[in-house]
Structure 1
Amino acid sequence: MNKNIGFIGCGNMAQAMLSGIINSEIVGCKNVYVSDPDENKLIQIEDQYGVNINTNNEKIVENSDILVLAIKPNKHTEVINEIKKSVKENVVIVIIGAGITINYVENTFGKQIKVVRTMPNTPALVGEGMSAICASSLVTKEELNDVITIFKSFGKVEVIEEKLMNVVPAISGSSPAYVYMFIEALADGAVLDGIPRNKAYKMAAQAVLGSAKMVLETGEHPGSLKDKVCSPGGTTIEAVYSLEKNNFRGSVIEAMRMCTNKTIDMGQEKK
């Protein structure tokens, strides 16, 4: 990719993206520019990845063909107002903040600009991220493919309509937290019956990882895979019955609706 990639902010998600970009050799490390108010963090990033660093956001912007705003949702207005006069023509702005819409970014810049809205998740830190992406009408197919290539360097990508982006936190952005709770609960159940905690966490986590891999690699319906584990009158169907009796699926779906509603509320605040 013959492009310079800039990052404003270098928190966990930005570092996951940096790791994917550098390790996949999408661009050279000298084609990556990173800013952050924390000088110590920047020095660590420079030592680890060999990228260009600066505490001045405008210096990053001036060198960027693709600019990732890796900042908290409540910082977008402040940062965009700071950099909007410095962005190059045809720069592609990539946003990763929940509830930050394409229309909001365009209005804050006060001009037509190319925007790609994304929602990655924290498993990107181990190269197993799941990202949803949508783009404004000004973004060309080649430019969108460049952004997709970046996000594929640390996981899987789905391109969706922007009207569906508010659902993404519930299904993949926030859902690792629910999965961690499930792993913890599985481990607690094992500890209750005598398995040492360190072994219980490993066994539970591997079971979740393997199950997810079965869904992705076989293409079978999750219900079908579940049925194959449930022998008539066996132990698994007994556990499934208990989960269903206690509204397991309904509780998960309700949690997702709460997450989606919160995302919508955050977006309304930005209008």
Structure 2
Amino acid sequence: MKSVIIQKSEDRRMERTIGFVGCGNMASAMIQGWVQAGISGDQIIVSNRSAEKPLKIQNTFGVHIGSNLDVARSAKWVVLAVKPKDIENVLDEIRGQLTSESIVVSLAAGVTLETLERKLDPSTKILRMMPNTAAALNQGVIACVKGRNITSVDFNETEELFKKLGYFLPIEEKQMHGEIGLSGSAIAMFYLMADAMGDAGVTLGFTKAEAIRLAAATMSGAGAMMLQSQKHPIQLKDEVCSPGGTTIEMVRSLEATGFRNTVIEAVLAAATKSKALSEK
């Protein structure tokens, strides 16, 4: 695949396609996914408070390292991958370096478009996104909310770039808290479930690594079955439950211990936390 072509400003040359302010796990996952999808590390610039993480990413993927200001002035998509508590300071720092072509992409949970728009120039193009770390394998979910200045061309170009990381889902801002519960944070629930299955596997005579591999492969297969067959998950569940068999006994045990409600409450807890962050 070809890298996205950068449109050059008449008053300031945009040298990179993608820039990251903040270089934690999510930024690393997205960079890995893009490089695997064919985007050159030469088209990516990163900044971070400490030098260790950017240097590691540079050595692995060939990206450029600069300051927050370098990222803001040289990238078309300026991805803010910092903690919510740091977002306003970053916005104050970079606002004077953004061009009319810059698209600011905030990954900060709970930070609303209103907050972003209040801190930046009124004409700034802004998007909110919530990806998950499966973007590293081009299997992520990337929910996207567009701000008032995003044109249809901007959004189409953004979708073409970000769908290289996985499933790109346009949503309304009021749905963002729910998306965080259902996907952005929920990926950790599947990791926790895999680890629990790993412990069960050890009890049953497998090594932890063998058991987790079995769990992960089973989760992957179940996801593929739901997405590709387009059958309701209850139908798929019923199809594998034989009368008096082992699978229905597992389902009975899960229902008896409140598994379904535990999942519901976990999703709602993450969504509630996201809402609380947005109200600070």
Query: TM-score range, shorter-chain basis?
Result: over 0.9
2:106 matched residue in structure 1: 95
1:192 matched residue in structure 2: 203
The residue type paired with residue 213 of structure 1 is A
Residues 20 and 150 in structure 1, CA contact (< 8 A), matched pair in contact too: no
In the alignment, is residue 17 of structure 1 matched against residue 30 of structure 2? yes
Q: Following TM superposition, by how much is the alpha carbon of 1:262 offset from its aligned partner in structure 2, in angstroms?
A: 0.7
What is the distance in 2 between the residues matched to 1:255 and 1:29?
A: 37
In the alignment, is residue 42 of structure 1 matched against residue 54 of structure 2? yes
Residues 30 and 133 in structure 2, CA contact (< 8 A), matched pair in contact too: no
1:218 matched residue in structure 2: 229
Q: Following TM superposition, by how much is the alpha carbon of 1:132 offset from its aligned partner in structure 2, in angstroms?
A: 0.7
1:99-120 Cα shifts (integer Å, max 9, x gaps): 1111110011152321111000
What is the distance in 1 between the residues matched to 2:275 and 2:261?
A: 21
Q: Following TM superposition, by how much is the alpha carbon of 1:41 offset from its aligned partner in structure 2, in angstroms?
A: 2.7
Q: Following TM superposition, by how much is the alpha carbon of 1:252 offset from its aligned partner in structure 2, in angstroms?
A: 0.7
What is the distance in 1 between the residues matched to 2:235 and 2:41?
A: 45
1:18-69 Cα shifts (integer Å, max 9, x gaps): 222233234x433322212222332333332222211x21122111221111
Identity score, percent: 35
What is the distance in 2 between the residues matched to 1:227 and 1:24?
A: 37
The residue type paired with residue 152 of structure 2 is K
Residues 64 and 88 in structure 1, CA contact (< 8 A), matched pair in contact too: no
Residues 226 and 232 in structure 2, CA contact (< 8 A), matched pair in contact too: yes
In the alignment, is residue 130 of structure 1 matched against residue 145 of structure 2? no
**Alignment partner of 1:242 out of 250, 253, 261:** 253
**Alignment partner of 2:177 out of 166, 170, 179:** 166
Q: Equivalent residue of 1:117, what SS? A: strand
The residue type paired with residue 164 of structure 1 is Q
In the alignment, is residue 120 of structure 1 matched against residue 123 of structure 2? no
Q: Equivalent residue of 1:153, what SS? A: helix
Q: Following TM superposition, by how much is the alpha carbon of 1:94 offset from its aligned partner in structure 2, in angstroms?
A: 0.4
Please say which of residues 228-237 and 43-52 is displaced more in the overlay: 43-52
Q: Following TM superposition, by how much is the alpha carbon of 1:72 offset from its aligned partner in structure 2, in angstroms?
A: 1.0
How many residue pairs get matched?
Answer: 267
Residues 9 and 35 in structure 1, CA contact (< 8 A), matched pair in contact too: yes
Specify whether residues 180 and 32 from structure 1 end up closer, same or farther in structure 2 by C-alpha distance, changes over 3 A only.
closer
5+ unaligned residues in a row in structure 2: which ranges?
A: 7-16
1:2 matched residue in structure 2: 5
The residue type paired with residue 171 of structure 2 is I
State the TM-score, normalized to the length of structure 2: 0.90
1:179-222 Cα shifts (integer Å, max 9, x gaps): 11211222222322323322211112211111111111111111
What is the distance in 1 between the residues matched to 2:180 and 2:117?
A: 22
5+ unaligned residues in a row in structure 1: which ranges?
A: none
Q: Following TM superposition, by how much is the alpha carbon of 1:178 offset from its aligned partner in structure 2, in angstroms?
A: 1.0
1:29 matched residue in structure 2: 41
Residues 119 and 169 in structure 1, CA contact (< 8 A), matched pair in contact too: yes
What is the distance in 1 between the residues matched to 2:31 and 2:120?
A: 25
Q: Following TM superposition, by how much is the alpha carbon of 1:246 offset from its aligned partner in structure 2, in angstroms?
A: 1.4
Q: Following TM superposition, by how much is the alpha carbon of 1:15 offset from its aligned partner in structure 2, in angstroms?
A: 1.8
2:84 matched residue in structure 1: 73
